[in-house]
Amino acid sequence: MPLGLLHQVGHNANWNIESLQTGCGNGLILSPLHQALPTVEKLSPELRAASLFDPQFYLPNSRKRKLLSYPFFPEQAAGGFATGTFDEHSLSVARACVDFQVEQGFRKVVVPTRYLKEMYPEYFQMQEEFSVNSFLTVAGPRPLCLSLAVKASMIEHASWREMLLNWVTAFHQVDELYLMYDHERDTKQVQDANFLREALRFFRQVLGTGLKLTIGYTNTEGLLFSAIGDPNITMGAFENTRIFSEDKFVESEGAVRGPKARIYLPGLLNWVQFQDALQIRRLAPEVWQQVHMPTEWAEQALSQPVEPTFNQPALYKHYFLCMKAHVDELRVMSLAGRLDMLKRRIAHAQRMYAALEPRVQVERHGRGGHLAPWAEALETF
Amino acid sequence: MPTDSDRLREELRVCLPSLVLERALAPSGQRVVYLAHFDDSLIPDEVRRAEALKVQELDIDDPDDHPFLLGWEAWGQVVVKVVSDANNDTIMRLEAEVDLLAALRPANFPKLHYANLFRNNPETEEPLDKRLYISIEEFIPGDSLEQIWLQYTGDEQRIARMALGIANALMPLWVHPQRYVHRDIKPPNILIRPNGDVVVIDLGVVRETGAKGLTETGFVAPHTPGFAAPEQYKEERALICFKADFFAIGVVMYQLMSGKNPFWYDPNMDRFDVYVATAKHNPPPLSACAGASQAFSDFVERAMRKVQAERHRTPDIFVSELEALCGLSKN
């Protein structure tokens, strides 16, 4: 399988779907948190066949309405989820969830797991008892995709990483791992060289076992993972599809004041606030030319008399096209070529930020603080 | 525990820009509570533009797809409750309880208009100092029992009807498969609508029988001295069941009938004295000290037994005896 780019579907799933239908991306990871049951059933068979359906049992007592529209979601199926009594329901939940995924014709059946924030000694046993054993029992011999949300520290600790690796390879039916990491930070981009280095090592080990690997909820750091092989990386519109957090199963992004509009500038490998982008275009036009990739969507947003709002699709569809361009460029290269290209892109972005510095004060998250840690991780993994 | 402060008020304004806080109300459980309303004219332009787009694209399959802030002024006065730093399991439990009650007894509980978790300051996009879980509830016009309890003093029939109203409101919790318990029945948590109907507020302290208390999630396990049952003072989680609510209802009935709390009968008592009294003191029967009928006095005395097993055995028995006191018994 070549390097893949999947849409991490979130709020306003139509933006991802429309983008995929125009050839941007290789498939969808559907999100019952954001897509009620009837919405998923209305997707075309072709779209479903290109999609993974993530049952999202990460917070099994979530009360989000769309999750509850699925009769097999633990909170719904158990009449109120409780760890102590869920084993009574585990098998029927697994049967209904597997049947649904098979009937809908998704690319592969996904085995859900729970998001456990603590590194319990019984971590793997808890996962097996919660869902894995039941899903393996009812799924039969078909190939399965195991979904797993882990704390960043589980990847950073070598001993935990080894246990994770041993566990995810212990099921003969599982041929794909859909993995996401909860990396707590107060920045939008990962700026943690140690974590990225260990993640690169871990993902290389996973691919080395012969498992396919889909890395979920990646922001643009996902591009770095192309240096270790051909995983699927993901791209999402709203931020909570680009950073994994259990909080997404509590928050309701449609019911809050939306974030400030940002535009992705591929030459900076970063999103910057839309107002800052206008400043760059006006005050540093030669930098703008080197960091901005014109797309139909970006030009539409930039030509509007007023700033786009967070719930207009143009800036997200622009991002999807930029990510496609990044991945298309990397996909055809050897691993050594990708590594070299990534390093050169990072160095270029650093030069662009340096050129901007005297003229445009970019807001904190739009600055280049991610670039040095990324370069370090690529040098040392 | 969060407290009313300028900082909290500013964070609320940033999260919900059209919210106008009128005044702080008494804290509820471990939450800061405000009386407030929304003023649509305060909605920022960019929010108005974004929400106008949403209105055009509402997804009929999306039960959460409602405009944010637009039209909320029509809710009139609302009660705003703020929890800070609650963990997600606690939040889910609060939501489950509210959903349950709204589905089963909408007339007896305030309607929940909105609830959400805020992690970031929407203006700066920087993390808030502490995550805020904000819920907006219907404001119930009417008086709390605490304000009007003197109107009930000595009126057996009226007290029994009010107690029956509480019991009927709580019945869905008690008989739910997860055996919920309110745990904090007391006059400030009982509202009397102008038509006399009973509304129970402060559901945030509800928990499942035997479930972990909220202490572990950053809260002090809530109870109110003078109304809490003896088992609530001990760390006997498995023993706190619907009978703790029977006890508190008995205390409310006793206080209304006699004019005195049966366990906090001396203003010089401190909380520890009240704990001891709850565990050891047997208040004089209402038939002797307040001229109550023997049936009324016996009912209250049984509800307030120290040993749970000696209280009314089931919610059905509790309610049917209350109905008999109200003259509603079928027998």
What is the CATH classification number for the domain harbouring A206?
A: 3.20.20
| A197 φψ region: left (φ > 0), alpha (ψ -120 to 50), beta (else) | alpha
A257 belongs to a structural domain: no
Report how far apart, in Å, the C-alpha atoms of B296 and of each of A64, B243, B293, B322 are: 45, 18, 5, 9
Residue B3: its pLDDT value, please?
Answer: 84
User: Is residue B128 over pLDDT 70?
Assistant: yes
Residue B215: its pLDDT value, please?
Answer: 31
Compute the average pLDDT of residues B18-40. Answer: 90
| CA A169 from centroid of its chain's CA atoms | 22
Q: Among A310, A272, A178, which Cα is nearest to A232's?
A: A178
Confidence of residue B62 (pLDDT cuts 50, 70, 90): low
Test B63 with A66 for CB contact under 8 angstroms.
Answer: yes
Compute the average pLDDT of residues A234-260. Answer: 88
- Percent above pLDDT 90 for chain B: 50
Test B89 with A310 for CB contact under 8 angstroms.
Answer: no
User: Is residue A116 over pLDDT 80?
Assistant: yes
A287 belongs to a structural domain: yes
User: Is residue B278 over pLDDT 50?
Assistant: yes
Which residue of chain A is at minimal alpha-carbon distance from B87? A247
Test A255 with B116 for CB contact under 8 angstroms.
Answer: yes
User: Is residue B139 over pLDDT 70?
Assistant: yes
User: Is residue B63 over pLDDT 70?
Assistant: no
Give ipTM to 2 decimals.
0.82
DSSP alpha helix (H) spans, chain B: 6-15, 45-56, 88-104, 145-148, 156-175, 230-233, 242-258, 271-280, 286-289, 294-303, 315-325
Domain boundary (A227, A249, A271) is at: A249
Q: How many residues does chain B have?
A: 331
Identify residues of A whose CB sits under 8 angstroms from chain B CBs. 36, 38-39, 59, 61-66, 69, 75, 79-80, 82, 186, 246-247, 249-252, 254-260, 306-307, 309-312, 365
Compute the average pLDDT of residues A185-190. Answer: 94
Q: Are residues A136 and A43 in the same domain?
A: yes
Task: Report the alpha-carbon distance of residue A292 to residue A299 in Å, rounded.
Answer: 11
- The one-letter amino acid code at A109 reads V
CB pairs under 8 A between A and B: 97
Q: Are residues A301 and A350 in the same domain?
A: yes
Q: What is the pLDDT of residues A123-147, one digit of tens each?
A: 999 999 999 999 999 999 999 999 9
Counting Cα atoms < 13 Å in the Cβ hemisphere of A289 gives 3
Task: Report the alpha-carbon distance of residue B258 to residue B99 in Å, rounded.
Answer: 37
User: Is residue B50 over pLDDT 90?
Assistant: no
Q: Are residues A208 and A138 in the same domain?
A: yes
Backbone angles phi, psi at B32, to 5 degrees: -85, 135
Residue B26: its pLDDT value, please?
Answer: 79
Spatial contact of A37 and A70, defined as CB atoms under 8 Å apart: yes
Q: Are residues A20 and A97 in the same domain?
A: yes
Looking at the complex, report in whole angstroms how far the Cα of residue A211 sits from the nearest Cα belonging to chain B: 33
Residue B83: its pLDDT value, please?
Answer: 86
Which positions in chain B touch A75 (Cβ < 8 Å)? 92, 96
Q: Are residues A225 and A117 in the same domain?
A: yes
Cβ–Cβ contact B217 with A under 8 A: no
Can you name the residues that pair with B37 across neighbouring β-strands? Answer: B20
Domain boundary (A249, A271, A305) is at: A249
Q: Are residues A304 and A219 in the same domain?
A: no
Which residue of chain B is at minimal alpha-carbon distance from A34? B62
Q: Are residues A165 and A89 in the same domain?
A: yes
Residue B213: its pLDDT value, please?
Answer: 38
Cβ–Cβ contact B64 with A under 8 A: yes
User: Is residue B216 over pLDDT 50?
Assistant: no
User: Is residue B202 over pLDDT 80?
Assistant: no
Cβ–Cβ contact B59 with A under 8 A: yes
- Outline where DSSP puts E strands in chain A: 4-8, 27-30, 51-53, 109-111, 144-151, 174-182, 212-215, 232-235, 262-265, 270-273
Test B116 with A61 for CB contact under 8 angstroms.
Answer: no
Q: What value does the mean pLDDT of chain A take?
A: 95
Q: What is the pLDDT of residues A204-220, one digit of tens each?
A: 999 999 999 999 999 99
- Total tally of structural domains belonging to chain A: 2
Residue B93: its pLDDT value, please?
Answer: 76
Q: Tell which wins on pLDDT, B296 or B202.
A: B296
Task: Report the alpha-carbon distance of residue A311 to residue A308 in Å, rounded.
Answer: 8
Q: What value does the mean pLDDT of chain B take?
A: 86
A123 exposure class (CB count in 10 Å sphere: 0-12, 13-18, 19+)? middle
Test B46 with A39 for CB contact under 8 angstroms.
Answer: no
Segment among A108-122, A353-367, B58-72 with least mean pLDDT: B58-72
A339 belongs to a structural domain: yes
Confidence of residue B86 (pLDDT cuts 50, 70, 90): confident
Looking at residue B57, the DSSP 8-state letter turns out to be T
Domain boundary (A216, A249, A282) is at: A249
Residue B219: its pLDDT value, please?
Answer: 36
Which positions in chain A touch B177 (Cβ < 8 Å)? 79-80
User: Is residue A182 over pLDDT 50?
Assistant: yes
Test B122 with A257 for CB contact under 8 angstroms.
Answer: yes
Q: Which domain holds residue A324?
A: 262-380
**DSSP states along A243-255:** S--GGGGT--GGG
Test B116 with A311 for CB contact under 8 angstroms.
Answer: no
Residue B329: its pLDDT value, please?
Answer: 67
Residue B296: its pLDDT value, please?
Answer: 97
Considering only the beta carbons, identify the residue of A63, A254, A258 that sits closest to B65: A254
Q: What is the pLDDT of residues A371-380, one digit of tens each?
A: 999 999 999 9
Q: Are residues A235 and A285 in the same domain?
A: no
Cβ–Cβ contact B92 with A under 8 A: yes
Compute the average pLDDT of residues A77-98. Answer: 91
- Percent above pLDDT 90 for chain A: 89
- Percent above pLDDT 70 for chain B: 88
